[in-house]
Amino acid sequence: MSTQTLINPPSIWKRLWRRSHGDSPLKRALIHAILIFACIVAIYPAIRVFSVSLRPGDRLLSTSLDLIPQDATWANYQRLLFQTDFFLWVWNSLLITIVTSLAGVLLAATAGYAFSRWKFPGRAPGLILLLTTQMMPAVMMLIPTYLMFVEITRTFGVPLVGSYLGLIVAYMMGSVAFSIWILKGYYDTIPIDLEEAAKIDGTSELGAFYRVILPLSTPALAIVFLFNFTYAWVEYPLARVILPKAESFTWTLGLRSLQSQFNTEWGTFAAASVLVAIPSLALFLWSSKWLISGLTIGSVKG
Amino acid sequence: MASLSVTRARTLPMRVLGEMDWKSVGRNLPMLVVAGATIWFVATFLPQQQRLSPEYVVQSATDVTKFTLGLVAFVAALEIALYIVLVRMLHWQYALPYMLLAPAAIVMAFLFIYPFFYNIAIAFSNRSLQHFLPGTYDYSLQYGIENFTSVFTDKVLHDTGFWEVFFRTWAWTIINVFFHVLGGLGLALLLNRPLALRGIYRTILVIPWALPQVIAALSLRGEFHYEYGFVNNMLVALGLPRVQWLGEAIPAFIAATLSNIWLGIPFMMVVILGGLQSIAAEFYEAADMDGASAWQKFVNITWPLLQPVVAPATVLGTIWTFNAFNVIYLITQGGPAEKTDILVTALFKSAFEFYRYGQGAAFAIVIFFALFSFSAAWIKISGALKAVNE
């Protein structure tokens, strides 16, 4: 704080000028033009959804390209909140997502450590198996998983098909494998000397993991939690197969059901999109720094 | 002594306030505002909901808590059993890693290895809508041969064969990944220059990636509507004729491709930007001294040094695009007349719309090998993902 106030900071315009120095003004204008165009392309569909959500019911299907309609209204939001199961969908999604993410972190934290620190028999096949699960699209595992769940539901009476428990179990396949992979990559970057020092100080191998490595890995554990969260939060095909009934819909299924009722629900759909997209966008942008570094921690090390 | 503790108690809140990391609070302010708004919003509107009754909330939360506790109890029991067997009885040197690994390994065995082999078994059965309940279907080599040959010779969809979908999928993947890399590289090169407002541009450009795909795909589907979508209205504003985007084969494929390119560029942009920033400036200074042109610098410095980043990102992008179920299924639904189906949507339909589980399972194995051989070849060529063999 004190060092900053001692030096007279250059004004913001000076800083902007200095930062943009290097290209000729014409070239800079061109670059800005391209980037602004790209930004408009990137953001325009999102703004359109917002504008549709504000339109009154009789003008939903309009050919106008206005962004804020002249007779803007909140009617679509009222309809969404009071006449559809929007809250139910979001609640189901939240439950499924949180449990999936927690289970992924819980199971992967120790497994990733085992892969990182020991050369036990079966390590290489295990790692290849983990990679294979990442290449395996969820749709391909859908037939056996679905039929297996049907059998379990029938034989043991555990309702895996048609309940969010089944969906949590199904999501765990993707989340556990991915979490192990990322966490193994992160543990690899922690020098083994730390545990050795802890062991010399008298703790056991497990104690070193629990007292030294886990606290150091909090950022990586948070990244893994966030990754699993975003994976389960936006997943569609598995949910569609495992949750056929409307009372256990997640928001992805709910939004789809709004849109498939042809044109009538277009405004409600847009309102729902806005309400889901704002927290999702905020979460992503807020965590993007760590998410992107997380991508490079584990999977693309080279 | 007593007085000391009193002063400490009085100053503690002040000290906490004084030592709080206000900068980090400021950085996370947008998130805090959104979280607060969400909580307010839910608290205001929740009581007026119909389906989400308090009983349902309590019931589902209890179910999920029970499930989590069950999982924890299962892990604990497993660990105790393993401890007794591996450590106490066998004194095995690898006891600890196996104990650490066991819970995840069992979950993976139940959720990946078993279904994987079960899938092969289903491919050798006659399971379908008519043969769904136990006792109505059975397994034999004959069924397996029929299923696998029918994937290649019969229709995999209602009236589209395997090869048509196969070649369309590769065309789809190659076109998409090409434009992802091209667009991502172009934007990253622009953003890597000294430029005002760079952070703002970068944040806005990431939005297509940050938006949940289901929302993006469903909204884009609406925007390709013949009369009301903005694409056609934009064309009209430019004096061009309207296009039947979702009603004809080639426009529908173009619509899906455009949407997927829009969705995929930000990921490549971010990854390539990271790669560009790690290239040392000395290379360019040396090149400037030798009088190299911008193009020469790009070909001889930037592109080769980007390879360690671009190669794995391309593999990932290829796998994602190959599996872009949401985009196709939610925008065109494979239509019109199955002209935009790719392998994964065809597989989904054959199993869950036509209920041909046996043939679907065989189809899944074929797709898996197509993707697996591509990935293996690419990894071998590019040397990406070396981490496995270290």
What confidence tier does B15 reach under pLDDT thresholds 50, 70, 90?
Answer: low
Question: Looking at the structure, do residues B118 and B182 belong to the same domain, yes or no?
Answer: no
Question: Looking at the structure, do residues B108 and B252 belong to the same domain, yes or no?
Answer: no
- The pLDDT value recorded for residue A293 is 62
Mean pLDDT score, B271-281? 86
- The pLDDT value recorded for residue B173 is 92
Q: What is residue B155's DSSP assignment? A: B
CB contact (8 A) between residue A256 and residue B51: no
- The shortest CB-CB distance from A165 to any of B42, B63, B228 is to B63
> Which structural domain range is residue B85 located in?
54-123
Chain A residues in contact with B63 by the CB 8 A cut-off are 163-165
- The shortest CB-CB distance from A145 to any of B115, B221, B360 is to B115
Chain A residues in contact with B67 by the CB 8 A cut-off are 99, 165, 168
d(CA B301, CA B296): 8
Which amino acid does the sequence have at A10?
P
* Long-range contacts at A257-262 (CB < 8 A, ≥ 24 apart): A258/A84, A259/B218, A259/B221, A259/B222
- The pLDDT value recorded for residue A291 is 65
Question: Looking at the structure, do residues B316 and B235 belong to the same domain, yes or no?
Answer: yes
What confidence tier does B171 reach under pLDDT thresholds 50, 70, 90?
Answer: very high
CB contact (8 A) between residue B206 and residue A285: yes
- The pLDDT value recorded for residue A60 is 56
Q: Three-state secondary structure along chain A?
A: CHHHHHCCCCCHHHHHHHHHCCCCHHHHHHHHHHHHHHHHHHHHHHHHHHHHHCCCHHHCCCCCCCCCCCCCCCHHHHHHHHHCCHHHHHHHHHHHHHHHHHHHHHHHHHHHHHHHHCCCCCHHHHHHHHHHHHHCCHHHHHHHHHHHHHHHHHHHCCCCCCCHHHHHHHHHHHHHHHHHHHHHHHHHCCCCHHHHHHHHCCCCHHHHHHHHHHHHCHHHHHHHHHHHHHHHHCCCHHHHHHCCCHHHCCHHHHHHHHHHCHHHHHHHHHHHHHHHHHHHHHHHHHHHHHHHHHHHHHCCCC
- The mean predicted confidence, pLDDT, of chain B is 82
d(CA A184, CA A110): 9
- The shortest CB-CB distance from B360 to any of A19, A131, A143 is to A143
Q: Does B211 touch chain A (CB under 8 A)?
A: yes
Q: Which of A16-25, A106-115, B70-79, B146-155 has the lowest mean pLDDT?
A: A16-25
Q: Does B308 touch chain A (CB under 8 A)?
A: yes
Residues 87-126, chain B, touching A (beta carbon < 8 A): 94, 96-98, 100-101, 103-105, 107-108, 111-116, 118-119, 122
On the question of pLDDT at A128 being above 90, the answer is no
On the question of pLDDT at B206 being above 60, the answer is yes
Question: Looking at the structure, do residues B68 and B196 belong to the same domain, yes or no?
Answer: no
Quote the tokens at residue A294.
Answer: 């997380």
**Structure confidence by residue, pLDDT tens digits, B287-300:** 888 888 888 888 88
- The pLDDT value recorded for residue A61 is 58
- The pLDDT value recorded for residue B4 is 46
CB contact (8 A) between residue A177 and residue B96: no
ipTM of the complex: 0.80
Q: Which one, of B124, B248, B64, B213, lies nearest residue A95 by Cα?
A: B64
**Structure confidence by residue, pLDDT tens digits, B38-77:** 788 777 776 666 667 777 888 888 888 888 898 889 888 9
* A23 class by beta-carbon count within 10 Å (0-12 exposed, 13-18 middle, 19+ buried): middle
Is the distance from CB of B191 to CB of B273 less than 8 angstroms?
Answer: yes
- The pLDDT value recorded for residue B388 is 46
Name the most confidently modeled range: A136-140, B118-122, B230-234: B118-122
B264 inside domain = yes
**C-alpha to C-alpha distances, B289 to A7, B129, B293, nearest whole angstrom:** 35, 72, 11
B185 inside domain = yes
Higher pLDDT, B127 or A58: B127
CB contact (8 A) between residue B49 and residue A173: no
Q: Does B230 touch chain A (CB under 8 A)?
A: yes
Chain A residues in contact with B260 by the CB 8 A cut-off are none
> Which residues of chain A are in CATH 1.10.3720.10 domains?
82-298
Is the distance from CB of A230 to CB of A252 less than 8 angstroms?
Answer: no
Mean pLDDT score, B247-269? 90
- The pLDDT value recorded for residue A63 is 59
- A39: number of CA atoms within 13 Å, CB side? 16
On the question of pLDDT at A150 being above 60, the answer is yes
On the question of pLDDT at B185 being above 90, the answer is yes
Domain A82-298 has what CATH class?
mainly alpha
| Distance in Å, alpha carbon of B11 to nearest chain A alpha carbon | 23
Domain count, chain B: 2
**Structure confidence by residue, pLDDT tens digits, A12-35:** 666 555 555 566 778 888 889 999
- The shortest CB-CB distance from A143 to any of B113, B312, B361 is to B361
- The pLDDT value recorded for residue B6 is 46
On the question of pLDDT at B227 being above 60, the answer is yes
B26 inside domain = no
- The pLDDT value recorded for residue B175 is 94
* B237 class by beta-carbon count within 10 Å (0-12 exposed, 13-18 middle, 19+ buried): exposed
- The mean predicted confidence, pLDDT, of chain A is 79
- The shortest CB-CB distance from A19 to any of B63, B196, B210 is to B196
- The pLDDT value recorded for residue A279 is 84
Question: Looking at the structure, do residues B187 and B68 belong to the same domain, yes or no?
Answer: no
- CATH number (domain holding residue B349): 1.10.3720.10
- A85: number of CA atoms within 13 Å, CB side? 23
Mean pLDDT score, B302-309? 86
On the question of pLDDT at A89 being above 70, the answer is yes
Which amino acid does the sequence have at B280?
A
| Distance in Å, alpha carbon of B6 to nearest chain A alpha carbon | 32
Quote the tokens at residue B153.
Answer: 């010779």
Q: What is residue B46's DSSP assignment? A: G
Mean pLDDT score, B171-177? 93
CA dihedral defined by B127, B128, B129, B131, rounded to 10 degrees?
Answer: -30
Q: Where are the alpha helices (DSSP H) in B154-280?
A: 162-191, 198-205, 207-210, 213-223, 230-237, 249-277
